[in-house]
Chain A
C-alpha cells in the first residue's frame, strides 16, 4: 500500500511565478490536509478538503493561495505570484477519518520544499 505521494519534492520559483504542489492520498483515504512548515518552526494547518469540497480553509492566506481536490486525480495546492516569504516545506496528509474506530490519524507525505528566489 503506497503512502502519501507528493510531487515535486523540490520546487524553485522566481518571485511572481506560480507554484503547483500535488498530493496523492493513500488508497482508501478521502480526506486531505495541507500544512506549511516555515524554517525552524512547527507545522501550521492550511486547508482541509474532501473530494470536490473545501471543508476548512481557515489557515489559508486570503490571497494568492488556493486548493482543490477533484473527483479524479491528486489534490493541488496552488500559489500564485509567489514571494520570498512563501519559501517553506508544504506537507500533505491524508486520513481515513473513520470516527467509529477512532481511525483518524493522519499520514504525511514527504513534503514539497518550495524555494522562491
Chain B
C-alpha cells in the first residue's frame, strides 16, 4: 500500500527565513509525488510534482522539493518565506497500483509566517 507521512502538523518561520516541510512516503513502486497548497477556505493549488524524471523538482512561487529514494523522502523547501506563504500544505502520492491514480493525502502541515 502507498502512503505519505507529513512529520510536522505545524511549522512556524519568520519572514525571510528558509522553509522546510517534511514528507516521507511508502511505496512498493516508483512513486508519483505532489505538493499542494491550500489557502484558508480555498481549493488546492499544485506547487510541484515528481514523476521519476529529475530528482530536484522546481515548482511555483520559489518552492522546490528533492526526491530521495534512499531516505524515502520528498521534503518541500523555499529559501525565503513570504507572508503570503502562510497556508496548509499537503504531500500527496498518486496510487498507481490500483490503476486509478487516485490521490492519497498526508495529514497536512500548517505553515505560519511571522513578521
> Using a CB–CB distance below 8 Å, which chain A residues touch chain B?
4, 33, 35, 41-45, 48, 55-56, 59, 91, 93, 95, 97, 102, 104-111, 113
* CB within 8 Å for A41 and B107 given contacts A105-B34, A108-B43: yes
Verify B103–A110 contact, CB threshold 8 A. Answer: no
> Using a CB–CB distance below 8 Å, which chain B residues touch chain A?
32, 34, 36, 41-46, 49, 51-52, 90, 94, 98, 100-108
Query: Number of residue pairs across A and B with beta carbons under 8 Å?
Result: 54
Verify B100–A48 contact, CB threshold 8 A. Answer: yes
CA distance A78 to B68 in the complex (A): 41
Q: Sample 23 A-B pairs with CB under 8 A, ordered by A number.
A: A4-B43, A35-B103, A35-B105, A41-B107, A41-B108, A42-B105, A43-B90, A43-B105, A45-B102, A48-B100, A48-B102, A56-B98, A56-B100, A91-B44, A102-B32, A102-B51, A102-B52, A104-B94, A105-B46, A108-B36, A108-B44, A108-B45, A111-B42
CA distance A104 to B94 in the complex (A): 9
Verify B103–A104 contact, CB threshold 8 A. Answer: no
Closest to B53 in A: A102
Verify B102–A33 contact, CB threshold 8 A. Answer: yes
* CB within 8 Å for A107 and B103 given contacts A42-B108, A56-B98, A102-B32: no
* B46, B101, B106: the one within 8 Å of A97 (CB): B101
* CB within 8 Å for A110 and B34 given contacts A42-B106, A48-B100, A56-B100: no
